[in-house]
Structure 1
Amino acid sequence: MGNGNLLPILLSSMIIIGLSAGVSLYVGMKRKGNEEWAVGGRSLPLYVVIGTQFATVMGGGMLVAHVGIGYTSGWSTITYGLILGGGILTLLFLANWLREQGFTTLPDVIRKIYGEHPLLTSITTVMAIIVPFGWIGTQMVAFGSLLGAITGMNENLLMFFLALISLVYILPSGMTSIAWTDFIFGICMLMMSVVSIGMVFHMTGGFDVIASSVPPSSIDFPTGMGAIGSVTILLWALSILPGTMTNQMYYQRIYAAKSSKTIKLSLIITVAVILLVEAWAAVMGMGIRTLNPGLANPEDAAGWFLTQVPTWFLALFTSFIIVTIMSTVNSGAQSVVVNLTKDIYQNYINPSISEKSLLRMSRVLSVIVIAVAYVMATLFSGALNWLVATYAYSAGALLFPIFIGYALRKTSFLTVQGGIAGMICGLLGTGIGHALNTGIPYVIFGLGLSLIGLLVGSYFTKEGQASSMEEQVSVDN
């Protein structure tokens, strides 16, 4: 590796970035309103919604960790995809309602179910922010380490370049420009997946050679889907499902779709594409194991593979890495900014702010969010740990208030006090589980206490809330 590969990598990356940046700027000139910035004007076509959902799900983890899973455990990557897909498909139950209500953020959902309350909205806003913010930092670290090994460049400098380039996609028109460029990135990702599989088959001699070289426990289908072990699969389910079901970035793409039909088709097709990419990761991993079965760290599989390929392929694959990571950074930053502008500033500080001023503030905050994430990524290289933590705390606080709240929204049982109790108990439970360090995903402790807090808190406060509502109606009359 090293600087000898730098020129072709730069040329390939500049072509892809230049074309996609041109699309971003063009879209930004055509669609300038705050509604376009926040939720894509609620008019994104099916293929764009699929592209942006898929590109958002993809990230450095797919290129490193999942190929590593394929290296050790074959088709187990598909099991991961099924769990992730299950979480995404759960959103089908809420899709029509979410689209009809005209929501913009997760706090909008909570306000609709429980009513307006500063503490409830504040907790929801913080929990909605921390996950995408964690994604930004993690992807920056992954970008720096992967590209640093390939090019020989300084990791902090590479992360700085990523931060600057990401703004080109965020600033023109927020969600709208990100969604359209994500569609381009998604096409690039799928094309590169096909090319890379062809390269692996060429280097190994084909799938039959791979099948005869790796352990039967990995290659046999469908039994290979469990090669990672039942305990790990259970841990995946307990971690991935809650985090996926409460990730605001997925909700935003539902809000941005043109119609309810578009939403449902996009979620189903996105899951199908995810499963195909997980199958790609499995074949890539097993192919690399055929070429080099002695890697001490399976997560080095993708990096080692890139030391064996021609320069032209290395340049294309590096571009693949760049756009994969960049799409996640863009989506995370835009999601955080929407919460800051709408749920905090517009909701509590300046409700009368004009659309033009709100759009200007969104752009300024985008620069600040990217800058803060960059600084944190340079200071804390173990970003994966805080990504896992953000997922756990967010899901522990929000999962049951959202989904039980949706299920019981037409009843009079749930109260705003119950919603607050559910969130606070979820945070406390997650913190306790985290501190105990039992090996069980600590989000489980949070989910358990959140459920108890939500139901018990609502039960003991429902009469008081009913009385308050009756008094308010009397005053209004």
Structure 2
Amino acid sequence: MKSLPVLNLAVIAIYLISMILVGFYFSRKNRSSDQFTRAAGSIPGWAIGLSIYATFLSSNTFLGVPGKAFGTNWNNFVFSLAMPLAAWIASKYFVPFYRRTGEVSAYTHLEKRFGSWARTYAVACFLLTQLARMGSIFFGIALSLQALTGYSMQSIMIIVGTCIIIYTVLGGIEAVIWTEVVQAVIKTLGAFLILYIIVKNIPGGASRILEIGTADHKFSLGSLSPNLKESTFWVVLFYGFFINLNNFGIDQNYVQRYHTATNSRQASRSLWICVVCYVPISLLFFIIGSSLYAYYQVNPDLIESVKHQAAIERLPLHSTAATVKATMNALVPADYGDKMMPYFMVTEIPTGLVGLIISAIMSAAMSTISSGMNSSATVFSIDIYKRYINPSMNEKQLMKLLYITTAIFGIMGMTTGILMIGIKSILDIWWQLSGIFSGGMLGLFLLGMISRRTQNAEALTATIIGVLVILWMTFSVALPEDYSFLRNMLHSNMIVVIGTLTIFLSGLLLTSLRRAGPVE
């Protein structure tokens, strides 16, 4: 078992204690549900923008993006390139809409538009998305800390999760936003520090990285061919646009932040602050992954222990040395990419700086998880409990419910992370799950906002059709060979694209047929 030096442990402990103290500080203000869920509309736009940026810059970015760049290329950076268009649409149409309604929940208006089923369906999709997101983030932070400490991933998730639950429950959305502002700075500095250390330790520096990366096609953004079966440039671009529109336009994590702004202009401004920060920094993480690749190409012997561990994880217990060796030789960089950042930190980063970088990775995880906990608790309390179980609950009862549900969703996120142990790629599993749960939600929102003539029956029918298409695209790949002709042949990232368009276009078609009426 590895053990961190006292200095590193002290840095990590100071960071965790500081986050808990922030929660205690803001707990003094939480005297109402309005303060807990939207900070009484008192947060400046720049702070909200950095908060949204910090939520995007999760441990999936810290570990998954360099792992992808190490194992493949920069194809997934196209996701970030799709962000400005999605932000423009959200700032022009969605943000003013939510500010006008004044509803803290992003899904309340769906009931007014289509009925209670629409609201409940959107809430269910959102909560499932949040569990998938929080689980993948918990898994990512545990993966890196396990490499550094030797402690079990389950234990790490419980310790870190407990700290997150404490400051999120106590502090509410205001604590979440202001801690994320600090975390945004820490994460960004940590990324630059990691890149500096990698480049400094490669003979030839940046020019050598560029030479190796160019020779091995590590900087490619993907094929430009119109092939939707593989992760081409276009597949990731489509996926990125729809997911980013989902995030900025209908995700409670972000919609709730719009309500914390002092006015609509500040709320819209926050989106552009996020985009301006995230796009270049996400590129920085791809550069880190390619630099790691170059580092271990220059020092191939240093990577053997990682390959050995990856091979063991793929084999049954008590496999022979020869079998392990053969499996190691068959591995490709994509098979162990997620392990490279933690491994580099263990072996190459000086004492003291490791604690700082671990704090940066922890802050990447904590910002996303705390945001997910707060927004999930808000949605459940308002859209489920208050709507269906106790409509007459008073302010004191609502505050108690918000505290309890925030903690419960934190525990559920930890449990999901534990269940994810053993997956191959953090980024892949998160992208797939978010695409499945987001597609139906976004399609229904667009139908309600764009087609004002669509009624309840058309929306419900279109949603059922869309959900069936999403289920078929997700699970048909497991059909037996005799039914291979029924399998979905498109890339899994296209699920959110096809699911969204199916609901939206089906709704428009059904509305047109109703308006046309029977021919006499």
TM-score by length of 1: 0.87
Shift of 1:69: 3.3
Equivalent residue for 1:393, pick from 409, 419, 436: 436
Equivalent residue for 1:341, pick from 381, 386, 398: 381
Q: Deviations over 1:326-366 (max 9, x none)?
A: 11111111121111100011112222211221011111112
Shift of 1:156: 0.6
Q: Deviations over 1:356-413 (max 9, x none)?
A: 210111111122222223233323425757644542233221222212422334xxx1
Relative to structure 1, is the Cα distance of residues 229 and 20 closer, same or farther in structure 2, using a 3 angstrom cutoff? farther
Match of 1:272? 276
Relative to structure 1, is the Cα distance of residues 241 and 366 closer, same or farther in structure 2, using a 3 angstrom cutoff? same
- 1:227 and 1:445 mapped to 2: Cα distance? 21
Confirm whether residue 302 of structure 1 aligns to residue 341 of structure 2. yes
Relative to structure 1, is the Cα distance of residues 40 and 463 closer, same or farther in structure 2, using a 3 angstrom cutoff? farther
Match of 2:327? none
- 2:176 and 2:273 mapped to 1: Cα distance? 20
Match of 1:250? 254
- 1:396 and 1:338 mapped to 2: Cα distance? 22
Relative to structure 1, is the Cα distance of residues 407 and 225 closer, same or farther in structure 2, using a 3 angstrom cutoff? farther
Amino acid at match of 1:153: Y
- 2:515 and 2:66 mapped to 1: Cα distance? 51
Equivalent residue of 2:104, what SS?
A: coil
Match of 2:328? none
- 1:132 and 1:53 mapped to 2: Cα distance? 15
Q: Deviations over 1:424-462 (max 9, x none)?
A: 222111001112232423334423431243224434567
Relative to structure 1, is the Cα distance of residues 415 and 228 closer, same or farther in structure 2, using a 3 angstrom cutoff? same
Shift of 1:323: 1.0
- 1:462 and 1:22 mapped to 2: Cα distance? 59
Equivalent residue for 2:169, pick from 150, 168, 171: 171
Relative to structure 1, is the Cα distance of residues 457 and 42 closer, same or farther in structure 2, using a 3 angstrom cutoff? farther
- 1:453 and 1:207 mapped to 2: Cα distance? 51
Amino acid at match of 2:503: S
Shift of 1:267: 0.9
* Greater CA drift, 398-407 or 183-192: 398-407
Shift of 1:85: 4.4
Shift of 1:76: 4.4
1:170 touches 1:178 (CA, 8 Å); kept in 2?
yes
Amino acid at match of 1:165: C
1:415 touches 1:461 (CA, 8 Å); kept in 2?
no
Equivalent residue for 1:312, pick from 348, 352, 356: 352
- 1:171 and 1:180 mapped to 2: Cα distance? 14
Q: Deviations over 1:113-171 (max 9, x none)?
A: x15x2212211111121111211111111122221111111111111112201112211
2:79 touches 2:241 (CA, 8 Å); kept in 1?
no
Please report the RMSD computed on the Cα atoms of aligned residues, expressed in angstroms.
2.6
Match of 2:511? 458
Matches for 1:22-421 after TM superposition, within 5 Å:
22-71=21-70, 76=75, 78-93=77-92, 94-112=94-112, 114-115=113-114, 117-204=115-202, 205-215=204-214, 218=217, 224=219, 226-227=221-222, 231-232=230-231, 233-247=233-247, 248=251, 249-293=253-297, 296=333, 297-306=336-345, 307-381=347-421, 387-409=430-452, 413-421=453-461
2:49 touches 2:272 (CA, 8 Å); kept in 1?
no
Amino acid at match of 1:394: F
Relative to structure 1, is the Cα distance of residues 234 and 6 closer, same or farther in structure 2, using a 3 angstrom cutoff? farther
Equivalent residue of 1:64, what SS?
A: helix
Count of residue pairs the alignment pairs up: 454
Amino acid at match of 1:100: R
Shift of 1:74: 5.6
Shift of 1:188: 0.8
Relative to structure 1, is the Cα distance of residues 225 and 254 closer, same or farther in structure 2, using a 3 angstrom cutoff? farther
Q: Deviations over 1:48-85 (max 9, x none)?
A: 20121011112222122211333356654542321244
- 1:109 and 1:209 mapped to 2: Cα distance? 55
* Greater CA drift, 174-183 or 390-399: 390-399
Shift of 1:300: 3.0
- 2:164 and 2:224 mapped to 1: Cα distance? 38
Relative to structure 1, is the Cα distance of residues 444 and 84 closer, same or farther in structure 2, using a 3 angstrom cutoff? same
TM-score by length of 2: 0.80
1:55 touches 1:185 (CA, 8 Å); kept in 2?
yes
* Greater CA drift, 155-164 or 35-44: 35-44
- 1:386 and 1:336 mapped to 2: Cα distance? 21
Amino acid at match of 1:50: G
2:21 touches 2:167 (CA, 8 Å); kept in 1?
no
Amino acid at match of 2:111: R
Match of 2:473? 433
Q: Deviations over 1:270-312 (max 9, x none)?
A: 1111112122112212221221125633333312321222122
2:136 touches 2:420 (CA, 8 Å); kept in 1?
no
Amino acid at match of 2:499: G
Match of 1:8? 7
Q: Which runs of 5+ in 2 are unaligned?
A: 304-332, 478-488
Relative to structure 1, is the Cα distance of residues 4 and 378 closer, same or farther in structure 2, using a 3 angstrom cutoff? closer
1:166 touches 1:330 (CA, 8 Å); kept in 2?
yes
Over the matched positions of the two proteins, sequence identity in percent amounts to 17
Equivalent residue of 1:374, what SS?
A: helix
